[in-house]
Structure 1
Amino acid sequence: MHIETHPFPPVLPEHATVMMSGSFPPTADKRSMAFHYPNYQNDMWRVYGVIFYDDPKHFEVAGEKRFDAARIRAFLVARGIAICPSVRRAIREKGNAADAHLRIIETLDLPAVVRQMPQLRHIITTGGKATDVLLGFTGDAKASLKTGETLTFRLDDRELSLTRLPSTSRAYPLKLAQKIAAYRAFFQRCGLV
């Protein structure tokens, strides 16, 4: 089995207050751009478009079935939103990005990542695998989070919140409006909208 390294570097604005963490991107043939959440069928950037610009197509390239990575990156940096995948290296046991078939070889080094962003206070996960990885840093072996739940924990000398939000994959059985509402409520709590 082939070990893959996550193809996209994290986006870690020094002034970030929020960090989003997923697991692993789809295979190259399913990517519409060379950036996080690259599948055109995934609604992550439509959710952000609605919340921050009232336009689900804000991050799309007009007339093409792809997202604008440079525009997304500039937005994230301007708003102080970091993205750091929870999985650095993995094996796709079934050749896809489904969490259930992803064997983790190496996770992120959360303490090292957090130290790069002194204002970071909130972390969101976008799926079960990322949630499980990050729960491993809470110091509570029995900790668990269902979608929509938040827990607080200390990392070094900093209190952080960890919130599990719904996956924006269309395979996740929740209406888009409900996903948007969940993400909007989170960003409102953090004071970003």
Structure 2
Amino acid sequence: MTQPELLPETHPLPAFAPENARLLMLGSFPPGRHRWKMDFYYPNLNNDMWRIMGLCFFNERDYFLTPQKNGYEEDKIRQFLQEKGIAISDTAKQVIRLKENASDKHLQIVQTMDIAALLERLPHCHAIVTTGQKASDTLLSILPGIPAAPAVGGFVEFLWQTRKMRFYRMPSSSRAYPKPLVEKAGVYLGMFNEIGL
């Protein structure tokens, strides 16, 4: 019996790119639609990105959850990102899922995002953060000038065109990454403070 052919999947979301953005956050690729609780980035309820943001900015892990805690308040998230000047995209535009889950290690990247074109749209952006190993590796392969990947929680400086930039590498917000939520949030908080957000 032959294996079914695995078909490429194209990224379903446009980049969230407010013109005032000072920080560009990059993940790898969204989970399958069946895991979504909203039509936006980090839509899986088992991913802790919006709990990290809630802790960092409001000292409340469930700040962005619905009152029933069974989904996210997408409008609240979008407004918050707009006000803070945070853009979000992913590093992969098209992937093949080698397994039916959201794990980065089972993603085969077919086509990468045009991060340089996205940065052109964000004239005030001077910091990029990747939220996992796959995103970090992909960014290094597509954006020239970055000397090397920083340690998790750290950053390296680089020049993009004439713009002095920082590349931060943060712990994955996936629960598969073995670090307690409060510790992850502490690492992210350090970055947000350094950037001045």
Q: Is the 8 A contact 1:138 1:153 kept in 2?
A: no
Q: Amino acid of the residue matched to residue 39 of structure 1?
A: N
Query: How many residue pairs get matched?
Result: 191
Q: Amino acid of the residue matched to residue 138 of structure 1?
A: P
Q: 2:194 aligns with which of 186, 189, 192?
A: 189
Q: 2:144 aligns with which of 138, 145, 150?
A: 138
Asked if 1:10 corresponds to 2:15, the answer is: yes
Aligned counterparts of 1:157 and 1:41: Cα–Cα separation in 2: 39
- Moved segments of 4+, more than 3 Å: none
Q: Amino acid of the residue matched to residue 147 of structure 1?
A: V
Shift of 1:64: 4.1
Q: Which residue of 2 aligns with 1:163?
A: 168
Q: Which residue of 2 aligns with 1:39?
A: 44
Q: Give me the TM-score of the superposition, normalised by structure 2.
A: 0.93
Q: Give me the TM-score of the superposition, normalised by structure 1.
A: 0.95
Asked if 1:21 corresponds to 2:26, the answer is: yes
Aligned counterparts of 1:71 and 1:2: Cα–Cα separation in 2: 34
Q: Is the 8 A contact 1:19 1:81 kept in 2?
A: yes
Aligned counterparts of 2:150 and 2:145: Cα–Cα separation in 1: 14
Q: Which residue of 2 aligns with 1:48?
A: 53
State the Cα deviation string for residues 65-122 of structure 1 (Å, max 9, x = none): 1011111111101110000111111110112221111011111112111010111000
Percent same amino acid at aligned positions? Answer: 40
Shift of 1:165: 0.3
Q: 1:150 aligns with which of 133, 136, 155?
A: 155
Q: Is the 8 A contact 2:17 2:88 kept in 1?
A: yes
Q: Is the 8 A contact 2:94 2:109 kept in 1?
A: yes
Shift of 1:138: 3.3
Moved more, 112-121 or 92-101: 92-101
